[in-house]
Chain A
Amino acid sequence: MSTETLQLLYLIIMMIFLGVELIMHVPSVLHTPLMSGANAIHGVVIIGSIIVMGQATETLPMILGFIAVILGTLNVVGGFVVTNRMLEMFKKRQ
């Protein structure tokens, strides 16, 4: 196993612990917005689709890449906007 892979593994393990810590003590009222927010964050997969699209030269990868960029954007934009709308509902209660 190369040092780089090993470092990535370390990073993954640390992130798992961090994710657990972040969520553990959240009140149940916020579970839905939190899930929705997390949903938007994994939209980061869009970066991968941009990279793959930017290197595509043939027709099929181009088409698939284009669709991937659209779907990824849907995830990101829809995710953040929906979360924001949910949280707006909580705003006036503060």
Chain B
Amino acid sequence: MESLLAIIYLVASVTFIVGMKMLGSPATARRGNLVAAAGMGLAILGTITLYTNSNGEHLHNIPWIIGGLVIGTVIGWMMAIKVKMTSMPQMVSFFNGMGGACAALISLIEESHHSAMAGGAHAADVGTSLTIMAGLVIGSVSFSGSIIAFGKLAERIGDIDVKGQQFVNILVLAGVVVVSTMYVMGTMTGMQTLVILAVLSLAYGVLFVMPIGGADMPVVISLLNSFTGVAAACGGFLYGNMVMLIGGILVGSAGTILTVVMCKSMNRSLTNVLFGGLMSKKAGASAGGGSGVQGTIREVTAADAAVLMAYAKQVVIVPGYGLAVAQAQHVCHQLEHELESKGVTVKYAVHPVAGRMPGHMNVLLAEADVSYDKLVEMDEINPEFPTTDVVLVVGANDVVNPAAKTDPTSPIYGMPILDVELATHVIVMKRSMKAGYAGIENELFFRPNTAMLFGDAKASLTALAAQVKAL
């Protein structure tokens, strides 16, 4: 029986690897997800029915386990089905946090188990203490960090910039390191030590994510994702459980690389993303002010913008996070439809990091039935801008900021952008003149060929579509 479970775990591990591989290509991604899910189901089922501990005893409390599984399935399923496409990133963050909390709880229970066995004394050997500690610390950081990231993406928590936070962060981190070391060495033992460690780790997770800007949350989530992977692997080490070890390490490693790749596509280093908010907020602001962005802006009415677009040959729409926030993807598709019925060629220029996650815009526009061939990637659309009559920027900012090409002092200098300023006319839809998420001014708005259309993206697009239709 034991070897059967081992084989089940082996099969499940293979499905994780194959599933992850398949997720990497558009044609097989969906099947890949299902393959991994099937493997997971198999591993869970196998554990419940076949697992025996070192004394050869089967698991107890089966009704409770099944009850927990049912409750978790119902809640998880409902949440995942109900969530809007635009809120997907925070949902991923939330579920990631749940995994982290699960890993932390496992460590707590293991410790109480060991303490009880030894009548309060420190019974576990160094290796066991180390994995219990690592699972607890990493799981807790991942949990509280993910919940903060979730809150930030849902715009329930703003960017908080407190003076001297670096010191607090370092202090708390030092506390975590000291208590962890003492626990592993055996100088501090028992449940209360782990509870202190959990509290410190939870606090560190909050402090760690708090100063990072909302725009960088995808990178943070990806990093916390790999943390949870490592926390799960700690559990695997603890029980000598291969499927936990393989699944956990695989995600830990893949998640780390994914984090680095995401940073690269924004042309920033991971350190800059994680600690930039702490260290250079003031320096960045003064540098941004020094770039000398000034001049007058020109406003345009929806009626004028509609005329401009309806008589254009080619209109390129640049979607950004504003489109997602306003839930304006359907109206946007409608405007595209109206323009096309007037004989205008409409394309969408999708920047790789537009929105809050890579691929965010593709998912959003696909939901509104915008056909795939109209979504053009940055490298393909950039040569077309000089021959484009009108560019309509819908709630995007940093990805169309020319400072990335011209101003070496700009925090986004070097990031590849969409060259919208080369088009004949640029219409920018924005809620206000507020700077983008990177917190920098955009000189595009002050260019003579740029006109601003202020207001909520959905309201503006609705007005535009109606005006174009009426022409």
Contacts and interface: CB of A to CB of B under 8 A. Distances in A.
Q: Do A and B bind each other?
A: yes
Interface residues of A, number: 82
B153 to A, nearest CB: 12
Contacts of B64: 53, 62, 65-66, 69
Given A23-B254, A55-B60, A48 B75 contact: no
B53 A77 contact: no
Contacts of B233: 12
Contacts of B357: 31-32, 35
B359 A33 contact: yes
Contacts of A50: 44, 47-48, 51, 59, 65
Contact of B72 (A45, A53, A71): A71
Contact of A35 (B17, B68, B252, B255): B255
Interface in B313-364: 352-353, 357-360, 362-363
Contact of B69 (A34, A36, A69, A75): A69
A18 B95 contact: no
Given A32-B358, A90-B366, A75 B99 contact: yes
B211 interface: no
Given A54-B62, A85-B80, A22 B244 contact: no
Contact of A45 (B103, B250, B358): B103
A76 B91 contact: no
B174 interface: no
Query: Per DSSP, are chain A's interface residues mostly helix, strand or loop, or mixed?
Result: helix
B30 to A, nearest CB: 4
Interface stretch (B35-43, B156-164, B301-309): B35-43
Contact of A40 (B33, B51, B222): B33
A13 B353 CA distance: 31
A87 B33 contact: yes
A68 to B, nearest CB: 4
A29 B108 CA distance: 39
Contacts of B72: 69-74, 76-77
Contacts of A39: 92, 95-96, 99, 225, 228, 251
A70 B20 CA distance: 25
A72 B99 contact: yes
Query: Per DSSP, are chain B's interface residues mostly helix, strand or loop, or mixed?
Result: helix
B214 interface: no
Nearest to A73: B72
A68 B255 contact: no
Contacts, number: 377
B258 interface: yes
Nearest to A17: B253
A6 interface: no
B23 A49 contact: no
A45 B257 contact: no
Nearest to B226: A38
A92 B92 contact: no
Interface string B55-73: 0001111101101110111
B26 A90 contact: yes
B239 A51 contact: yes
A51 B222 CA distance: 28
Contacts of A17: 253
Contacts of A44: 12, 16, 40, 43, 232, 243-244, 247-248
B367 interface: yes
A37 B258 CA distance: 12
B241 interface: yes
Contact of A42 (B65, B116, B225): B225
A74 to B, nearest CB: 4
Given A38-B20, A47-B243, A48-B106, A31 B358 contact: yes
B247 A41 contact: yes
B174 to A, nearest CB: 28
Interface string B264-286: 01000000000000000000000
A30 B106 contact: no
20 contacts: A4-B240, A11-B245, A30-B29, A35-B218, A35-B258, A39-B92, A41-B16, A44-B232, A44-B247, A51-B51, A54-B58, A54-B59, A64-B112, A66-B67, A71-B98, A72-B99, A74-B75, A78-B80, A82-B80, A82-B83
Interface of A: 4-5, 8, 11-12, 15-20, 22-58, 60-62, 64-94
Q: Considering the complex of A and B, which 10 residue pairs feature the smallest CB-CB distances, nearest first? A: A73-B72, A54-B59, A19-B253, A69-B68, A93-B372, A48-B235, A77-B76, A81-B80, A44-B247, A78-B76
